[in-house]
Structure 1
């Protein structure tokens, strides 16, 4: 087992980051599955990370309580800001939530006594273990899988296809959109809380515009037609920089080129069950015709 111990000593943070990024991709998948292009997930991640870290460092709360606080704080904020912002749609909703993210970043920068400001928080206890991350991902996938097959999941799909028609059918559009927004904030906050207790340090620049775009790219890259897509997209975007280390200065160029090619030729993402079924039927047809 020496090889595994050596591997874990070098790549443990990368492996656990796969899990936290999967939670982030699933968090934005929730809002996208309800037809909302909300870009506040990075801000919710930051709120969860700072809340959990401050509870641990300043109040010495148990890790479970810190994680609960890291989920509750962004959920509360999402409920408050969701009232006015979820009336918007499309690019206007994206702009409003991006603006909210910038407000959060500036607040963190200007509350130095509490958050450390631009210097961030150092010395956060490393409490996150592999089974914390694995358990969080498994539970999140199980809950979302059940949600997709429930009345709530069908309502999400109806709102995504046609919000007006869904409202005429008696679906509480505002309520379901708020539910998706808050649940997405809970997942993002959990990812932030786990990540804060994994990396020892958090700073405001970790939760800015770039992180928000990265989270969206994970879901779009993998595809939002199933739960496998966001997890697959987050895995690819997390591993790609490591796999392209041999390209040195051209690593970011190759990374971007791969993403552009996937978006051009696989517009619905890598994981598209409809496309797979179409390929399967075409293969069966060719086999039947050849015989």
Structure 2
């Protein structure tokens, strides 16, 4: 038992970070599943983290209420910015959402009395427990699994395949995109709220462009054709700094290189159910 306690004392935060990063990867998976390359997830994570932290530190609310606030605030912001931004697509949508992320960062820097500005918020109560993170991941995976198997999920697939054809088939493309965008913001806000109450400190530099690229890398690396893919990608990206501790300063370079290699050689990600089925059929014929 002492061995486990020693392990948890050293790597407990890393294990819990696997859970929060999995939530972030699933948040961008939801928007990618609807054919949207939106890069606002890091900003939504920051909004959720700051909202939940301010609620617990300044207003003394309970942790569940703070989590609810951390999900509601980015959902509201996402619903507002969805009106102008979701008219765009592809790289233009990515640029617009990156610009939104910069607006959030500047806003945090210039509201020192509330957010601490460049110094961030320190002394956030460390109330996030392992079962909070596990329960959040399980619930999010279950909800997304149900959504994917529903009419809404089929609409997302149709829009990702061909937005124009989906509209001609009677699918409300704008509503579906807004739903995916807001849903991704809710999940990212939840991850931010949990992470803030795990690390006891947050700063604006944690939710910038670098973080957004990292979240995208997680989803693309694991694969977006299943819910297991983003979780696998989040696990790999979270563990890389520990595995390559001596090259920590080049972590972003490694992430970028991985993304390029995956796009070139495994365009569907590491976890691709269709590729695995083909491989099993081939192996079955070879051993028949």
Pair in the same fold by TM > 0.5:
yes
Q: Offset of 1:245 from its aligned partner?
A: 2.3
Further displaced range: 256-265 or 227-236:
256-265
- Pairs within 5 Å for 1:235-246: 235-245=235-245
Q: Distance in 2 between matches of 1:249 and 1:194?
A: 26
Matched, 1:66 2:83: no
Superimposed CA distance per residue, residues 28-67 of structure 1 (whole angstroms, 9 cap, x where no aligned partner):
0000000000000000000000000000000000000000
Contact 2:105/2:204 (<8 A) preserved: yes
Contact 1:245/1:251 (<8 A) preserved: no
Is the partner of 2:164 in helix, strand or coil?
helix
Match of 1:200 in 2: 200
Q: Offset of 1:250 from its aligned partner?
A: 7.1
Q: Quick one: structure 1 residues 249 and 126, their matched pair in 2 at CA, closer, same or farther if it must change by over 3 Å?
A: closer
Is the partner of 1:22 in helix, strand or coil?
helix
Q: Offset of 1:247 from its aligned partner?
A: 5.7
Match of 1:129 in 2: 129
Q: List alignment gaps of at least 5 residues for structure 1.
A: none
Further displaced range: 237-246 or 63-72:
237-246
Match of 1:75 in 2: 75
Match of 1:211 in 2: 211
Matched, 1:97 2:94: no
Q: Quick one: structure 1 residues 152 and 250, their matched pair in 2 at CA, closer, same or farther if it must change by over 3 Å?
A: closer
- Pairs within 5 Å for 1:8-87: 8-87=8-87
Contact 2:241/2:248 (<8 A) preserved: no
Q: Quick one: structure 1 residues 255 and 112, their matched pair in 2 at CA, closer, same or farther if it must change by over 3 Å?
A: closer
Q: Distance in 1 between matches of 2:113 and 2:194?
A: 23
Contact 1:241/1:255 (<8 A) preserved: no
TM-score when scaled to structure 2? Answer: 0.97
Superimposed CA distance per residue, residues 92-148 of structure 1 (whole angstroms, 9 cap, x where no aligned partner):
000000000000000000001110000000000001000000000000000000111
Superimposed CA distance per residue, residues 193-224 of structure 1 (whole angstroms, 9 cap, x where no aligned partner):
00000001000000000000000000000000
Q: Distance in 2 between matches of 1:3 and 1:260?
A: 39
Superimposed CA distance per residue, residues 155-213 of structure 1 (whole angstroms, 9 cap, x where no aligned partner):
00001101111111111100010000000000000000000000010000000000000
Q: List alignment gaps of at least 5 residues for structure 2.
A: none
Q: Quick one: structure 1 residues 252 and 161, their matched pair in 2 at CA, closer, same or farther if it must change by over 3 Å?
A: closer
Is the partner of 1:39 in helix, strand or coil?
coil
Q: Quick one: structure 1 residues 250 and 63, their matched pair in 2 at CA, closer, same or farther if it must change by over 3 Å?
A: closer
Q: Distance in 2 between matches of 1:284 and 1:23?
A: 36
Q: Distance in 1 between matches of 2:165 and 2:221?
A: 29
Alignment RMSD: 1.5
Q: Offset of 1:244 from its aligned partner?
A: 1.8
TM-score when scaled to structure 1? Answer: 0.96
Match of 1:88 in 2: 88
Q: Distance in 2 between matches of 1:256 and 1:171?
A: 36
Match of 1:154 in 2: 154
Report the count of equivalent residues.
Answer: 288
Q: Offset of 1:268 from its aligned partner?
A: 1.1
Match of 2:286 in 1: 286
Q: Offset of 1:281 from its aligned partner?
A: 1.2
Q: Distance in 1 between matches of 2:62 and 2:182?
A: 24
Match of 2:117 in 1: 117
Contact 1:122/1:201 (<8 A) preserved: yes
